[in-house]
Structure 1
Amino acid sequence: MYRHKDGFFAKSFAVCLVLMLTLLAGCATNHSRETWAKTALDGLNEGNARLYQIYIGSQGELLNPYTREIVEDEQAYLEAIFAHIALINKDRQAAGGTPLKLTIFIHGGLNSFENATDRVDRVRARMLKDGSYPLFISWDSGFPGNYRDHLFLIRRGMSRHFPGVVTSPIVFVEDLTRSVVHIPAAVYNVVFGQRSLSPRYQTAEERAAARSLETLTKAGEFQLRLSGKEFGHSDAEDVLRANPIKLVTAPLIDGLGKGAWNSMLRRADLVLRKARSFQGRTTEEKESVQEQKAPGSPVSAASTAAAEFFRRWEEEAKKFQQLPTILVGHSMGTIIANNILAKYPRIRFDQIVYMGAAARLKDVETVVAPYLEANQRTRFYHLSLHPEREVNEAHYYDVIPRGSLLIWIDDTLADINSFQDRTSGSWFNMLRSANQVFMEENVRRRVYLTRFGVRDGSPQNHGDFGRCPFWREQFWTFTAYPATKRTAELQCHDIGDRVGRGQTTPSRVPPLLPGALARN
């Protein structure tokens, strides 16, 4: 529900004025920035996706979540977000409510532009109702664009337009050759990899995980949350895995998927650093708010708008009265979350939530664990699908190998040189490594390891996490919620009314008045 227009503008002006006076009291600020900050929210209603989403394109550029055009005035875009957070928080405090929480969500791989932007419409209202200000860090992770970059553009990690086009036939032949050469490995994964769980006997991996679970349970240091029944698939489902078409599709996924995976890893890195910064066309990154460029330009020739947001949040947290801040990453979004924790260690996240994490075990050990040691009040929630659901996830009428994206990464797409190279989001992987990943006892007591169940309303497929109430602590510790209420409140489905950006009416996209915002 939208506020009355006059009241909204009055409150916007008041909050922006407070922010402006705060800046004046603490530092010398030029007049153009003051005026620009005061008008940052002009023309924006509170349902506008620009206030809740930072979408980073394939080269690190900021994109308009409605038109996909490049936003030239990145500073004005970010200023509107900061002003709106302050406005919502002031309204809650005036009404006697609890402080606003900032929940930052980073989606994973294989998300199209439409999927990433539609998510804002689906969950924004419910998150605000629950007292969470949603900020979505989105990035271009769809398969077609990433494979296109691999084929025609990216060479040795950098954009090379002419050499890329010229060598594209060679790269394509190389991918097909990889498919042929890897036929034995792909067939092995289809025949044996999909049978790492069986309804008739316990596999070696299951036995190792069971021993690890017993050890963790006896020690009583980690917060273990196991939801739902232990096993649910039948002999009939076991037989249905044996689809001979997979013997053809599996090598193709191996050959063509590897390049797309590497391209997605590159784009994950570019969420915080623009591609141009590696091409000799960059300037030094600004060290403080006072040194920002004038309005109407990108925040930095090197850092992205997402990086600038975190830098500003790190420096200006006191202005927002230490709002509780939650970092949520899903799948490959946890790789980006690791980069954020490493680059901005002074940001105090109250909770860090990794859902089906594609981040490697060794990266969680070297980034998340030290962060938890340095921030004694931060809690870490690690959510995993039931192993049965990981292995049995089917796609496209079951004509391609079963398994979640994490299974594909560990078995096919990534280079696994040691156990610590495996994805941390797999329940079996984390169980067998938790004692090595989190060495300190005071850290372990703040680590929640949640494994969801089978057909119990919890996430059943890797992509389900984004359709769950990922901002609620009750969801992170699923079993702590009463079963009757759990089904009604925490089950995973499309939340809210799904309104595609292509179907958005003009009334939902109000004109943007200040500077480049009106053009983007």
Structure 2
Amino acid sequence: MRKVRRDRLVRRCAAAFGRRARLASWLLAGVLTACANPHYPVLNEDDADYKAHLDKIRTCDFGNQDPGPYPGYAVENHILEASEQGTVAYPAKGGARNQFRPNFLRIMFCYRNFLAWQKQSARDEETHGQVLIYFNGGLNPADVLHEQAAVQVPRMLEDGYYPIFLAWPTGALDTYLEQIAFVRNGTRHSSPQYLSTPLYLLGDIGQGLVRAPVNYMNQLQRFVSASNPFDDSDKREFFLTRAEEICRDAEPADDGGPGHAAASEDKVCEKTDVNKFGIVNCEVTAEKNLLTGQAPDQDPGPSLLSVPYYGLFPVRFVATPLVDAFGKTMWENMVRRTRTTVRSPVEYNIHLVDDFKPREISAIEDDKRRFPHGIGAFARFFTMLQYCIDEDGDDTNSAAAGRTCYPEVDEALRSSWRNVELTIIGHSMGSIVMNELIPEHPDLPYRNLVFMAAAASVRDTARAISPIIERANAPCPRGNCNDKAPNRPARAPLRFYNLMLHPRNDALELESFGALPSGSLLEWVDEMFEGPKTVIDRTMGKWRNLRATKHVFPREAQENMLFRVFSWDDAWSSNQVPKSACDQDPSGGASQASERLFKPPTTHGAFNDNRARFWCPYFWGADTVGWWRGESDWNPRLCGAGS
């Protein structure tokens, strides 16, 4: 009897396991199929559905009944989403409507409605239109990005910006599965590599286990040092700056002798905070371009995070090898996807895609000629925006190559876009995309470049951003000095802002209450995911890295660069933005702006906090150094600048 029961139990368990195994295989197959290459989107301009949609685009009227800041408002007017392949997301779902051209035109034409609404609701000062382009960070699925945009876009509009979210999928599961199943040595195959996928999976697990002791030691040393940074003079890497005593010889006394002065052994010493901006003459220099939330050597006291950190050690002991094993591969594909938004894989791999039709191959070749800097969705956007803004871009040679603005964009609309200034903000991995795009499009009218907890390396940023800052702030910016448009307002200097967490918060951040390895994502990148070869190959968004490497940026560029390190606590008062002597209204004397409070970021993901309004210049520190109202063309509509 017992044998019969045992056999029956074994059969039931086997059947249950078989069902679960089949379900798991179906789910995996579904995910892998979803990662497969879509057909290359080819727009049929004669398509009746597209023509009807184009009529709605021209008026920015899509039948949207939801209340919004301007007529025809919809959050879709402000989002351009790239797919895993770098093309506009999922064209098959929306047919002709959901390809790059109609998406780009929708963004362009709805700007006209925004301008009309802005003129009715605000003063009519002749200032540049403010367009904000935002790049998301990693570990953000598409639905999360849309939820973020739905909340933040109306607030950005109210604050005077016309926002554009350039989004791409960075969810954890789909990036990992695509990397182990489709990507081999930089090549993205059109079908899953079933034979080698299990080997890649086993390799990841093995690497995580082998590297576990190294990761345990790195995390423990960092956590202990950051928790008690003032108990040892060798652990001062967590200071914001270093306070140095600068001494010089005193003036020699005159002994009365002819032509002689008595030697003096006296010295005059003063203590100064290296790199700290001081409001003395309201001048940012290469030596004084750092804003901090607290005094450089102020002791924050013991960290309360030690309790959950040590308490959850058994869980973290198991989780650390898994984070290294799967996280490194996920990160590789996330970085890959930042680059496919510029150079889509189909630029290189046409011969690897068996199901491409001749019409699709022809369209790819045409797009490669039309968009020389890449046929990925974001490169297309920047390139086409340049075509539409450029007044001399419609010559015969450009037209022959298709390098002109879309004919649907009329001259009046192009004229309004020529008067814009661009604020580009990249959070975490978004800075990597900025470093890819901005050097290839140096002539766009950039006004502010903002990195928030940047995952880009110091080396890549110095190569990509420094020449743009120097070029834009040359005596004849962008090479024309407004000679071709004398009636247009002169452009203000291009400023760069690098926003960072306090070093202790980067080092001590606890994921899942301490169940996962300690430290922010940038700590994981430097210690586990990237393996930097030198110090300047480490992430740009950590002050511990930048303090040692800031000198790699040219002095001329640093005069227009501001580095802000937020405080270690999240009290609203700790980042109070006071009335600054440098923050002057050029038309009316001293600034009338009230003191502002905002909740400072203390974790890597907190830069996106809606209450902080990360898109406002006072969040970057522009108030304090006179780079907002102190500019000759300050915009009184922007974030309440005139209040």
TM-score range, shorter chain: 0.7 to 0.9
Give matches, 1:156-171, under 5 Å: 156-162=185-191, 164-171=193-200
Q: What secondary structure, in the 3-state scheme, does the structure 2 residue paired with 1:400 have?
A: coil
Amino acid at match of 1:466: N
Partner of residue 273, structure 1: 343
Q: 1:69-100: per-residue Cα shift (whole Å, max 9, x none)?
A: 99643211211110011221244346644543
Residues 71-470 of structure 1 mapped to structure 2, 5 A cutoff: 72-93=98-119, 96-98=123-125, 99-162=128-191, 164-199=193-228, 200-202=230-232, 203-204=234-235, 206=237, 210-211=241-242, 214-217=273-276, 221-228=287-294, 230-232=298-300, 234=302, 236-242=304-310, 243-280=313-350, 281=361, 282-285=364-367, 303-317=375-389, 319=415, 320-376=417-473, 377-436=493-552, 438-440=553-555, 442-453=556-567, 454-456=569-571, 457-467=599-609, 468-470=612-614
Q: Hey, what does 2:62 align to over in structure 1?
A: 43
1:477 — aligned with what? 621
Distance 2:95 2:243 in 1: 50
Letter matched to residue 311 of structure 1: T
Secondary structure of the corresponding residue to residue 364 of structure 1: helix
Name the SS for the 1:406 alignment partner: helix
Query: 2: distance between equivalents of 1:111 and 1:212?
Result: 40
Alignment length, in residue pairs? 440
* CA deviation string 1:23-77 (max 9, x = no partner): xxxxxx99x9999765423425433222100111111122279x79996432112
Distance 1:68 1:459 in 2: 38
State the one-letter code of the partner of 1:371: I
Which letter maps to 2:528?
T
Shift of 1:184: 1.7
Which structure has more relative contact order (CA 8 Å, sep 6+)? It is 1
Q: Distance in 2 between matches of 1:409 and 1:267?
A: 16
In 2, Cα distance between equivalents of 1:301 and 1:362 = 22
- Label 1:162 to 1:123 Cα distance change in 2 as closer, same or farther (>3 A): closer
Alpha-carbon distance in structure 2 between the residues aligned to 1:182 and 1:364: 29
Name the SS of the counterpart of 1:174 in structure 2.
Answer: helix
| CA positional deviation for 1:215 | 3.5
Aligned residue number for residue 87 of structure 2: 61
Q: Distance in 1 between matches of 2:388 and 2:190?
A: 40
CA RMSD of aligned residues (A): 3.1
Deviations 1:336-370 (A, max 9, x none): 01111122111121000000000000011101111
8 Å Cα contact 1:104/1:137 also seen in 2: yes
Matches of 2:243 and 2:179, distance apart in 1: 40
Alpha-carbon deviations, 1:97-128, whole Å to 9, x = none?
45431000101111111111111111111111
Paired-residue identity, %: 23
Aligned partners of 1:63, 1:71: CA distance in 2, in Å? Answer: 11
Q: Alignment partner of 1:133: what SS?
A: strand
Secondary structure of residue in 1 paired with 2:365: coil
Q: Is the 8 A contact 1:394 1:403 kept in 2?
A: yes
For 1:210, give the aligned amino acid.
T
Q: Distance in 2 between matches of 1:44 and 1:338?
A: 38
TM-score scaled to structure 1, two decimals? 0.77
CA distance in 2 between counterparts of 1:35 and 1:236 reads 60
1:216 Cα offset (Å):
2.3
**Aligned equivalents of 2:243 and 2:620: distance in 1?**
22
Contact 1:61 1:70 in 2 (8 A): no
Residues 64 and 390 of structure 1: is their aligned pair in 2 closer, same or farther, counting only changes over 3 Å?
Answer: same
Deviations 1:187-224 (A, max 9, x none): 21232132331335244451786349943249764432
Q: Structure 2: how far apart are the matches of 1:70 and 1:461?
A: 41
Return the alpha-carbon distance in structure 1 between the equivalents of residues 497 and 372 of structure 2. 33
* Contact persistence 1:179–1:252 (CA under 8 A): yes
Instruction: Give the direction of change, closer, same or farther, for the CA distance of 1:179–1:227 in structure 2 (3 Å limit).
Output: same
Partners of 1:207 and 1:193 lie apart in 2 by 10
The answer for unaligned runs of 5 or more in structure 2 is: 1-44, 65-71, 245-272, 278-284, 351-360, 390-413, 474-492, 572-598, 626-643
Is the contact between residue 617 and residue 623 of structure 2 (CA under 8 Å) also seen in structure 1? Answer: no
Contact preservation (8 Å) 2:426, 2:434: yes
When normalised by structure 2's length, the TM-score is 0.63
